[in-house]
Amino acid sequence: MTSPTTTTTTTMPSSSGTVKTSRYNRRAPMHTLLEHFARCAPAIVCIVITACSRPPQLGADLVVTRANIWTGEPTQPAATALAVVGERIAAIGGDDEIERWRGATTTVIDAGGRRVLPGFNDSHVHLVDGGTQLDNVDLKDAGSPEEFARRIGARARAKPGEWMVGGEWDDQRWTPPQLPTRTLIDDVTNGTPVFVSRYDGHMALANAAALGRAGITERTPDPPGGVIVRDDHGNPTGVLKDAAMDLVTRVIPSSPPEERLRAVKRAMEHAESLGVTSVQDMNPSYDDIAVYADLANRGELTLRIYAAPLETGFYDQAKIGIHRSFGSPWLRLGAVKGYADGSLGSTTAYFFEPYLDAPNTRGLLSGELQPIEHIRTRLMAADRAGLQLCVHAIGDAGISQVLDLFEDVVAANGDRDRRLRIEHAQHIAPKDFDRFASLKVIASVQPYHAIDDGRWAERRIGAERIRTTYAFRTLLDKGVRLALGTDWPVAPLNPLLSLYAATTRATLDGKNPNGWVPEQKIAIGDAVTAYTLGAAFAEFQERDKGTIARGKLADLVILTDDIFTIPAERIKDVRVLTTVVGGKVVYQRKP
């Protein structure tokens, strides 16, 4: 096999059928969004017509030849070549059939026999956080409290006085695992406010300067849905869990629009290099969405975004008639994201029974569910408005509670193709799998968390509960649709690591080479389907994305190796050679 070669110069997407002028006003993002979508719609229609009627002798914009294409389509599962006109696939078949699409200005990619897949669609990311994290202090692999403190100290000296956030620390890497405290870092930060998060985003460590600015003292009560961790004398240690984190985040100045824009651009570059062509962005702020809209209006998005802001603000979308998957192929709205509980790593995922290693707690229902009547009313109203409901639930009782809420929503508003989603769906009570299936709830899951949490989850919840933990095989067997993703920056954005995780379940510590709870492994074909078509279905886009077929958006990835034939343990080392979004080459790996 040879490396893919591209002839004729490839260009990054410029206008892509959207309007170039931007009159976007940061104070009125919804207004700008509507403008973007209104102006996009006619352009989309005309691309479709062009793709269907242009005579082949004029030539395609892009031809991919000598490829080993996995189409994801049951009627034509494999092909060796395809042609793209505009943003969409115009033809797919053998090399000879596609040859006639080659014209004088056609960009030709010779894939050299490599594996081609539909672009990856990550069903659950935090895009701006991810982009920001690429520039933040990196604590994820700090292997000891000393190393953790050293990196924070170095960053504070480099940017004194500037809020230090992100970090993504992992206390489970330390021997023994222990929560950090502010005393570790107070001396080395010298008054620079620090609020660094655990990598799951469900707790964070504040130093004395940050606690001071937030006004948190030993007299501050725990807010509903949150915990201020305290020492034996009742003094805050600096660790704040879930809703308690808001006490500090609300005093951190929000980042200026330029910084947000920079974060989105870095995130897009990162996604391109990993073959991620679509993302479903969970709980973005309206300021984040305004940046996406601005980029979409300028034709500068290289990543398709489905944005699901918090359910508490559902009325902002509902009142102007935005409903599920409203928008253009580049930017869509119409979903809302809720939180039912916390995370396993922070012992805030909500279980029926207590944690084994923290027997005084069974986790926390989120503030949004306290009291439950309020969220029930909001979800019913959001659903009635045609918005899609995506709710984070991790512990078995949290998941059960969300299924109860979904049952109430269906009972109140009647049967419909609504594609309810539970985000994470990590630890499902055996009794709830059938309910999951009968309500047609989509499980939006992140396999990388399984090989990460699998290092220590059994200590925390015991041998029985781990059997239905990250239970991808059981979900598929029950007929539940899976949509794969990463939760980036909680886990790496690289889809190949997630495919490796789903197919091997080999924990990161190397202790389960044959798989942790191996009966829950899934086949590579099922995993790729869930990362492409399953993810597209989860955002109502299966007619436009998720497989390689005539008329669909030309979002493609070329890989160094064939993930369908190599041993599963090698999938993690496979790299992306070329990424195509909307018919444009947006990434080409350097030789």
Task: State the residues that interact with Zn ion by CB under 5 A.
Answer: 282, 487
Minimum gap (Å) between residue 125 Cβ and Zn ion: 8
Q: Closest separation between CB of residue 538 and Zn ion, Å? A: 14
Give the residue with the Cβ less far from Zn ion, 153 or 338: 338
Q: Provide the minimum distance between the beta carbon of 124 and Zn ion in the complex, in angstroms, as a whole number.
A: 6
Which residues touch 569 (CB under 8 Å, ≥6 apart)? 500, 504, 506, 513
DSSP-derived letter for residue 550 is T
Which residue lies nearer to Zn ion by CB, 34 or 336? 336
β-pairing verdict for 304-308 and 276-282: parallel
Query: Tokens 């330390």 — which residue?
Result: 174
Cβ nearer to Zn ion, comparing 16 with 136? 136
| C-beta closer to Zn ion: residue 282 or 375 | 282
Direct distance between the N- and C-terminal alpha carbons of the chain, in angstroms, rounded to an integer: 14
Distance of CA 346 to the CA centre of its chain: 20
Produce one character per residue of 159-172: b if its CB has 16 or more CB atoms within 10 Å, e if not. Answer: eeeebbbbbbbbbb
Structure tokens at 426: 């990590």
Nearer to Zn ion, 368 or 487 (CB): 487
User: C-beta of 129: minimal distance to Zn ion in Å?
Assistant: 9
Task: State the Cα–Cα distance between residues 44 and 42, nearest whole angstrom.
Answer: 5
Phi, psi of 183 (to 5 degrees): -65, -25
The pair of structure tokens assigned to 271 is: 């996604």
Task: Give min distance, CB of 577 to Zn ion, in A.
Answer: 29
CB of residue 80 to Zn ion, shortest distance in Å: 38
Nearer to Zn ion, 195 or 488 (CB): 488
Residue carrying the six token digits 């994470």: 424
Which lies closer to Zn ion via its Cβ, residue 423 or residue 432? Answer: 423
Shortest distance, position 487 Cβ to Zn ion, whole Å: 4
Let me know: does 36 contact 137? Beta carbons within 8 Å: no
- Using Cβ positions, the residue closest to Zn ion within the complex turns out to be 487
**Cα 266 to chain center, whole Å?**
15
Q: What angle do CA 543, 546, 549 make, to 5 degrees?
A: 70
Q: How far is the CB of 282 from Zn ion (least distance, A)?
A: 5
DSSP one-letter code for 365: B
Q: In degrees, to the nearest 5, what angle opens at C-alpha 414 toward C-alphas 413 and 417? A: 105
- Cα torsion 354, 357, 359, 362: sign: negative
Closest separation between CB of residue 339 and Zn ion, Å?
A: 9
Smallest separation (angstroms) from Zn ion to the CB of 446: 8
103 and 57 Cβ atoms separated by less than 8 Å? yes
Question: 155 or 337, CB closer to Zn ion?
Answer: 337
- Min dist. Cβ of residue 392 to Zn ion (A): 6
By C-beta, is 73 or 288 nearer to Zn ion?
A: 288
CA distance 142 to 457: 20
* Identity of the residue, 127 or 282, whose beta carbon is nearer to Zn ion in the bound complex: 282
- Cα–Cα distance for residue pair 338/420, rounded to 1 Å: 12
Q: How far apart are CA 230 and CA 240, in angstroms?
A: 9
**CA-angle at 243, arms to 242 and 245, nearest 5°:** 75
Query: Residue 6: which of 116, 118, 111, 87 has the closest Cα?
Result: 111
Q: Does residue 504 sit in helix, strand or coil?
A: helix
Q: In the complex with Zn ion, which residue's Cβ is closer, 65 or 280? A: 280
- CB 508 to Zn ion: min, Å: 19
Chain mean position to CA 119:
14
Whose Cβ is closer to Zn ion: residue 61's or residue 423's? 423
